[in-house]
Amino acid sequence: MPNKQPHIIVLGAGMAGILAGIRLQAMGYKNVRLYEKADRVGGTWRENTYPGLTCDVPSHFYTYSFERNPDWTRHLPPGPEIQAYFERTALKYGIDKLTRFGEECSAADYRDGRWHLQFKSGLKDSADILIAATGVLHHPKYPSIPGADQFRGALFHSARWDHTVALEGKRIGVVGNGSTGVQIISALAGTAAQLEHYQRTPQWIMPVENGHFSEQERAAFKDPAVLAHAMNVEEYMASVEAYTQSITDLESDASKAMAQACRDNLEQSVADPALREQLRPDHLPLCKRLVFSPNYYQAIQHPQSQLVTTGIEKIEAEGIRTADGTLHELDVIVYATGFHADSFMRPMAMTGRNGVQLSEFWQDRPKAYLAVTMPEFPNLFMLNGPNGPVGNFSLIDIAEHQWGYVERLMARLDVDDCSEIVPSMAAMNAFEAERVEAAKHTVWYRGGCVSWYLDAEGIPSSWPWNFQRFVDCMAEPDWDAFNLPAPATAE
């Protein structure tokens, strides 16, 4: 039980916010409040409901470590099942009772040793500790295509899917070919009368199997020992480490093996030489966030499917006109164009100590010390903040490691002579310089592509080292970075 009972506010009730709420209760904190801008928990899995939505992390590793789910139906978890899992978990641990829904924070100001929050509804609140669990991919990015408002059919972003629109037998155009676009095409091939995939830059695709768990398997998984054996954590973590090796060391065996698997998938899956070349990227595999799919190449070769590589000139009343003058008549247009991945807490206006504005602190790029804390923003802790591991990892696992780090920081605040936890600017600058230099050696920087991993200066924003280094950094804070005396006894 903590010595103090500070008022703690968690912003966001997605995966990371639910985790924070559960762990804070387990630690014995009584004055905890979550604020969620939507009407229910779930974060990205609440927002995204498009056909074919699937996580590319193996199902049994996409859960909290303390709340495994034996009931997944597929080897890769479908979106609706993930959302149901988070809703069920939030209810089980009483997160719904801690949460005020429909409240979006518009401003957070640190003064007089506390965070003062303003919400769009007019509500105000204050906190001794602020946890930002606002997510990464939650502000949809819309392309600037002339004439979009002239289209007579249905047009929407994949994260704002309009389920009132019937799809069977329709002429559908999907703009964007990241993981979302690939999943939508795979789901709608054979359903649509005409399915066009508008591709600006080809993507490498890693083959993956997505079989079903049998009823017998799911029944057996209710035994934790059986589930643990089936998960084979050591093998999975070895694959995670190999993946990070392939990103950070282009000459590694792991990098060469994954690249070859992508090339073989293209060569062996696409029969038409012309289509195969249209689908062949001009950059190294893994340069962009790797797309995993069991059946995209088959879907794009369906008789009713068509890959469109000519640039889009404009949208007209009847469909999309490409730069070659062709009008592609369509009933539905879907933007699978991703998110503003650099937003994080923004557009919230955040003011730290001494009047420091977050917008100014992040003027060059979003940054944070070890992705969790920032100078001049005391007692603010971020989950899945800037420069942490993102991409083809379980963000639940990432958030749990980060939460362990946050718990240790909060334990220092429970000591009478410690009222603020904030890293020094020197520690922040040293970390940032090392991170930027390391990022220049990754495939994201050297692979010859443009991706949402890159900031405005072309520097990859994700964790540029292997996964084990992240685990080690989260295991115990470097107290010198916080200008605090080392703890009297190690935990």
pLDDT, one tens digit for every residue, the chain (491 residues): 788 899 999 999 999 999 999 999 999 999 999 999 999 999 999 999 999 999 999 999 999 999 999 999 999 999 999 999 999 999 999 999 999 999 999 999 999 999 999 999 999 999 999 999 998 877 899 999 999 999 999 999 999 999 999 999 999 999 999 999 999 999 999 999 999 999 999 999 999 999 999 999 999 999 999 999 999 999 999 999 999 999 999 999 999 999 999 999 999 999 999 999 999 999 999 999 999 999 999 999 999 999 999 999 999 999 999 999 999 999 999 999 998 877 788 889 999 999 999 999 999 899 999 999 999 999 999 999 999 987 768 999 999 999 999 999 999 999 877 899 999 999 999 999 999 999 999 999 999 998 888 888 899 999 999 999 999 999 999 999 997 755 555 44
- DSSP-derived 3-state class of residue 28: coil
pLDDT at 426: 97
CA angle 467, 473, 478 (to 5 degrees): 170
In order, the DSSP letters of 90-142 are HHHTTHHHHEEES--EEEEEEETTEEEEEETTS-EEEESEEEE---SS-SBPP
Lookup: tokens for 262? 């992508």
Lookup: tokens for 229? 């054996």
The domains located in the chain, with CATH, are: 8-139+340-482 (3.50.50.60), 148-335 (3.50.50.60)
Angstrom CA distances, 264 to 204, 209, 258, 312, stand at 10, 15, 10, 30
pLDDT at 490: 43
pLDDT at 33: 98
151 and 316 Cβ atoms separated by less than 8 Å: yes
pLDDT at 1: 78
226 and 220 Cβ atoms separated by less than 8 Å: yes
- Which residues, 6 or more positions from 70, have their beta carbon under 8 angstroms from its beta carbon? 218, 221, 222, 227
pLDDT at 491: 45
* Rounded Cα–Cα distance for residues 491 and 479 (Å): 13
pLDDT at 488: 52
What distance lies between CA 35 and its chain's CA centroid?
Answer: 20
* Rounded Cα–Cα distance for residues 313 and 225 (Å): 57
- Only one residue has tokens 């009222």, namely 419
* Rounded Cα–Cα distance for residues 128 and 257 (Å): 49
Angstrom CA distances, 233 to 65, 227, 229, 442, stand at 11, 10, 8, 26
Pairing state between β 114-119 and 124-127: antiparallel
Angstrom CA distances, 376 to 8, 87, 90, 352, 394, stand at 19, 35, 33, 6, 30
pLDDT at 180: 97
